[in-house]
Amino acid sequence: METNDDLTARGALRPAPENFLTPSQIAEVSKGRRDFLRAAFAAAGAVAAAPAALAQGAGDPDILEPLPWATSLGKPVAALPYGQPSRYERGLQRRQSPGLTQTDAASVSFTPLQGTFGIVTPSGLHFERHHQGWYDIDPRRHRFMINGGAPGMIRTPKVFTLDDIMRLPSVSRFHFIECGANTGMEWGNAAVPTVQYTHGMLACSEFTGVPLRVLLEECGADFAKGKFVLAEGADGSSMTRTIPIDSVLSGEVLVAYGQNGEMLRPENGYPLRLVVPGVQGVSWVKWLRRCELGDKPYGTKDETIHYVDLLPDGTHRQYTSIQEVKSVITTPSGGQKLLARGFYTISGLAWSGRGRIRRVDVSTDGGRNWVQAQLQGPVMAKCLTRFSAPWVWRGETALLQARATDETGHVQPTYGRMREVRGTRSIYHNNSIQTWRVAASGEVDNVQVL
Amino acid sequence: MSKFFSALLALLIAGGAYAQERFPGIGRPATRAEVQAWDIDVRPDFQGLPRGKGTVAQGEEIWEAKCASCHGTFGEANHTFSPIVGGTTARDMETGRVANLRRQDYPQRTTFMKAPSVATLYDYIRRAMPWTNPKSLSDDEVYAVLAYMLNLADIVPAEFELNERTIRDVQNRMPNRNGMTTDHAMWPGRGFGTERNKPDTRGPACMTDCRLEARIASSLPDHARNAHGNLLLQNRVIGPVRGVPTAPGDFDFDDAETGPMLLARESGCLACHGVAQKIVGPGFAEVALRYRNQDVAEALAGRVRQGAQGVWGNVPMPPQPDLKDDEIRALVGWILAGAPEK
């Protein structure tokens, strides 16, 4: 049995000896030349009693040698008028899943959850789902109309410009948006390698806008007659979805123009999109041009042919909207490799379309035993919540899982439970517990535990 | 009463009903024509359906010209989108339930296997098709195309005319018209009478010894391991983990700055010259603009080598004795080309 001290010591061994070698020395080592390495160790050993003295003979060249950024003039202000991430971050990009769709204009790109921190998704990494391509719409020519599906539903159908909408009192709120088909490729079996592809149709932003209820009231909406709202986009597909009236009346549905302090990105609906907290992304209609108040649901294409959940008996569930309680570990996750044994922070995201996350539990043995994770504040309703749990990896095979519980008491289900009820042929609303297998080599891959 | 207040009062009276609104001056009434132009939705109960008509034969012509390239001549193609036609039977049209949806092994779910309402098809074709030119079909053309699709699916005969009346009969033959349910817990609040429904799946809250063993039921097949490219390149170069290399190749961070750009930085040019804008000396783009289409490369090379003053202002540019002639030529050529990044 190893003690914690031993483990810490082993973990601390990780940087050595590479950190005492220059890149060219490391290259020599990787070519198999280890003779000079022994000499380097001998030199280091000679001064082992005084580690600080290592720097006299051998040390980190990134400390000992002058570095370009410390010895030359940097770039001027506004060299990049709209800033960009470091070039060293280019691994983290939105990516498509090859073969998922046949045409890029009706497709998906996934958020690289394996590399994001906290709860906010950088707007440039927000996943995309377009039904008929995206446009960068001239906001001066964009109009938002409210009308009634039948006489008396809306007293005065109205047209609003962005000028109008942006003059109104606004609210800014943090919410997650998740595509109903997120994790859809995993219904039958483990199918894709990383959390970007298993869970990356997920993002979280601060949205700024006006409650749809305010605009409906401004038009004289009759909420005694109106039971459903149709939302419609201005793009080629003029995508339509039926919006729940109770979500509208609660004031949480927003006609939004702002995202993370700037305007919405074109790919996310610039200049206007609907925000329907807790509800799947398809209902957050982008390039929003019209809302209609009606007395019946609208049975649109994306409520009848797509975004319907196939059950084992051949029935489809229609108007499945709430994104139920779900979580996933993002570090470490599939397609990654742990650097060495020792201390790690298991970190991930939890969310629920029914409200706040109450707790998250983490297992390293495939769900046999669990420990409660820490939740990072603020914990907000219908918003991503970051959780973490300390973990010392001793080099054993591990099965990492997270399990979230929301404020309604709903606990995230296992794959086994999910398939008993909903089978394996659905596409939508898979909120099963994800498992990442850590091999003895430190490599992490995607597996399913029922 | 002051002029101001009487003017305001006149405004309020003229505004009539709008005077009651919370936000005067925000929004304006939509005209009838505006509402008609945008309110094109057709509900499953046919509310919003325009009058019109089209035959199967007319639809076939439009289909061949505007639809078949993506959907196939018979609506069967899957190379661009999921197939529209297939998988339904005469028996399904009687029951309103598509039997193949119960089969675990049935390979594809076509549009007609799922669509419960024919009005939805009309609505969607009118608003979103053809793919690259949506909303270009007339109401009659939409009827015709839909008639042809219904014929492909054996729901209507070849001589059929679809119009705002016959479409109601078609609804009673839609193969999956009884295949939908709203009896679940995933609609927020009222609307379908389901607000008391409880979630149908629920995980265990157990904390210790919850199961005897964790059996792996599925893992990523080997062939899928690198189907998403090199995972090394989809992670950071720092932090607790690295991406697993699943294909050849490594990060190349130097590609943003190579050749003349790198030379310009290392030679100190960029300390005084921006690429686009003036810093102390002119921006490279300004230089390129001034000397556009002029044969000045040799003259500029001389100024770089020996230094210059007065052309762009009084701050002198120092001589650059350390630069080799071919380096200077490369730099000048690059600057005159607008200093491209690569």
Kindly report, as residue ranges, where domains of CATH 2.60.40.650 are found in chain A. 326-447
Mean pLDDT of A53-64: 75
Residue range(s) in chain B whose domain bears CATH number 1.10.760.10: 53-171, 256-336
**pLDDT of B208:** 97
The hierarchical CATH code for the domain A326-447 is: 2.60.40.650
A321–chain B nearest CA distance, Å: 5
Mean pLDDT estimate for chain A:
90
C-alpha A405, offset from chain centre: 18
Q: Which fold has domain B256-336?
A: Cytochrome Bc1 Complex; Chain D, domain 2 (1.10.760)
Q: Which of A:304-363 have CB within 8 Å of B?
A: 304-305, 308-310, 312-322, 324, 331-332, 334-339, 344-345, 353, 361
Helix H or strand E segment including B56: helix B56-66
State the SS3 of chain A: CCCHHHHHHHHHCCCCCHHHCCHHHHHHHHCCCCHHHHHHHHHHHHCCCCHHHHHHHCCCHHHHCCCHHHCCCCCCCCCCCCCCCCHHHCCCCCECCCCCCCCCCCCEEECCHHHCCCCCCCHHHCCEECCCCCCCCCHHHCEEEEEECCCCCECCCEEEEHHHHHHCCCEEEEEEEECCCCCHHHCCCCCCCCHHHHHCCEEEEEEEEEEHHHHHHHCCECCCCCCEEEEEECCCCCCEEEEEHHHHHCCCCEEEEEECCEECCHHHCCCCEEECCCECHHHCCCCEEEEEEECCCCCCHHHHCCCCEECCCCCEECCCCECCCEEEEEECCCCEEECCCEEEEEEEEEECCCCCEEEEEEECECCCCCEECEECCCCCCCCCEEEEEEEEECCCCEEEEEEEEECCCCECCCHHHHHHHHCCCCCCCCCCCCEEEECCCCEEEEEEEC
Q: What is the pLDDT of residues A383-426, one digit of tens each?
A: 999 999 999 999 999 999 999 999 999 999 999 999 999 999 99
Residues of A whose CB is below 8 A from B211: 366-368
Per-residue pLDDT, A36? 42
Asked whether residue B1 carries a pLDDT value surpassing 60, the answer given is no
Closest residue by Cα to residue A123 from A193, A177, A77, A180: A177
Instruction: Give chain B positions within 8 Å (CB) of A113.
Output: none
Q: Mean of the pLDDT values across residues A120-126? A: 98
Distance CA A134, CA A268 (A): 9
Cα–Cα distances (Å) from A100 to A106, A355, B81, B231, in that order, read 11, 31, 11, 18
pLDDT band at residue B20 using 50, 70 and 90 as cut-offs: low
- Distance between CA atoms of B252 and A30, rounded to whole angstroms? 20
The residues, any chain, with a CB within 8 Å of residue A51's CB and separated by 6 or more, are none
Residue B308's pLDDT is 86
Per-residue confidence (pLDDT) for residue A389, from 0 to 100: 98
SS3 of B59-125: the string is: HHHHHHHHCHHHHCCCCCCCCCCCCCCCCCCHHHHHHCCCHHHHCCCCCCCCHHHHCCCHHHHHHHH
From the list A189, A236, A369, the residue facing B134 with the nearest CB is: A236
Residue A352: pLDDT over 90: yes
Report the residue from A99, A193, A227 with minimal CB separation from B231. Answer: A193
Which residues of chain B does A158 touch, with a Cβ-Cβ cutoff of 8 Å?
27-30
What is the reported pLDDT for A31? 53
Numbered ranges of CATH 3.90.420.10 in chain A: 93-317
Q: Do B210 and A425 touch (CB under 8 A)?
A: no
B53-171 topology per CATH: Cytochrome Bc1 Complex; Chain D, domain 2 (1.10.760)
Residues in Cβ contact with B108 at an 8 Å cutoff, skipping those fewer than 6 apart = B78, B82, B83, B86, B87
A352 → chain B, closest CA residue: B186
Residue A3's pLDDT band, with cuts at 50, 70 and 90, is very low
Q: How confident is the model at residue B3 (pLDDT cuts 50, 70, 90)?
A: low
Of B41, B120, B203, the CB nearest to A414: B203
Q: Which range (A103-107, A196-200, B18-22, B156-160) has the least confidence?
A: B18-22
In tens, the pLDDT along B79-137 reads 888 999 999 999 999 999 999 999 989 988 999 999 999 999 999 999 999 999 999 99
**pLDDT at position A266, please?**
98
Q: How far apart are CA A375 and CA A358, in angstroms?
A: 9
A46: pLDDT confidence band, cut at 50, 70 and 90?
very low
User: What pLDDT shows up at residue A1?
Assistant: 34
Q: Collect all residues of chain A within an 8 Å Cβ-Cβ radius of residue B43.
A: 149, 294, 296, 298-299
What is the CA angle A405-A406-A409, rounded to 5?
Answer: 80
Of all residues in chain A, the percent with pLDDT exceeding 70 is 88
Among B171, B212, B235, the strongest candidate for a mutation testing the A interface, having the largest count of A CBs within 10 A, is B235
Q: What band does B252 get if pLDDT is binned at 50, 70 and 90?
A: confident
Which range among A375-389, B118-132, B274-288 shows the weakest confidence by mean pLDDT? B274-288
| 8 Å CB contact of A322 and B220 | no
Q: Is the pLDDT of residue A96 over 60?
A: yes
pLDDT greater than 80 at residue A9? no
**Record: contact B117-A304, CB cut-off 8 A:** yes
Query: Which numeric CATH code is attached to A93-317?
Result: 3.90.420.10
Q: Which one is predicted more confidently, B180 or A14?
A: B180
Find which of B165-174, B256-265, B289-298 is predicted with most confidence, using mean pLDDT.
B165-174
pLDDT tens track for B27-68: 999 999 999 999 999 999 999 999 999 999 999 999 999 999
Of the pLDDT bands very low, low, confident and very high (cuts 50, 70, 90), residue A69 is: very high
State how far the Cα of A257 lies from the Cα of B293, in Å rounded to an integer: 45
Please indicate if any CB of chain B lies within 8 Å of the CB of A231: no
pLDDT at A338: 97
